[in-house]
Amino acid sequence: MKKITLFLVFIGMMTLQSCEVTEVYDAPIVNTPRTEVFEVTTSFNSSNNFSSLVVFDPPIFNSDSVLIYHLYDVVNGQDVWKLMPQTYYFNDGGSLNYNFDYTKFDAKIYLSANFNLKTLDASWTKNQTFRIVIVPNGYAKTMNKNDINSVLSALNVSKGEIKKIDM
């Protein structure tokens, strides 16, 4: 009797081991990463609290990064873009900061200084141009963020694809 029971257990184990279970499930919905570049020109003053809000429509993904560049100068017809945050120092010891923060819904660009911003020359506050680059998850770690042309090249964005936003 022991031999028959042992034989049946052995056959049962062999049968169960050879069973194959195939699970069918729906693949998760994956949001396709998108790269967008916006150009915005805005002015800063006391009535807007020396800040400007750019709304993302549609909102960006939580995993995206945002880079913002300030158009600092034009030299021989070439734009000079500086990655923000950016601090500019004056001969009198003052310093001006162009800075930003962002959520998945918007980016706020703002000025701060170690002096009264109302005394700042209009060349620093009027018609300032910025490029806002939405970088898909993972890409920000692999590119030279200090050079906007390298960023646009890495993200395969041509200058014609940059969307201008009127403020």
Token reading at 33: 């990463």
25, pLDDT greater than 80? no
Q: What is the pTM of this model?
A: 0.77
Who contacts 50 (Cβ-Cβ below 8 Å, separation ≥6)?
A: 44, 110, 111, 112, 117, 125
Per-residue pLDDT, 44:
97
Look at residue 122 and give its three-state secondary structure.
Answer: helix
State which amino acid sits at residue 141.
K
Confidence of residue 31 (pLDDT cuts 50, 70, 90): very low
The CA distance from 67 to 109, in Å, is 11
pLDDT at 35: 81
Query: Quick one: pLDDT band at residue 10, thresholds 50, 70, 90?
Result: low
Which residues, at least 6 apart from 127, have a Cβ–Cβ distance to it below 8 Å? 41, 42, 43
pLDDT tens for each residue of 110-143:
999 999 999 999 999 999 999 999 998 877 777 8
- With contact defined as beta carbons under 8 Å apart, do 149 and 162 qualify? no
Helix (H, G, I), strand (E, B) or coil at 150: helix
Q: What is the pLDDT of residue 22?
A: 46
Q: Spell out the domains of the chain, with CATH numbers in brackets.
A: 36-166 (2.60.40)
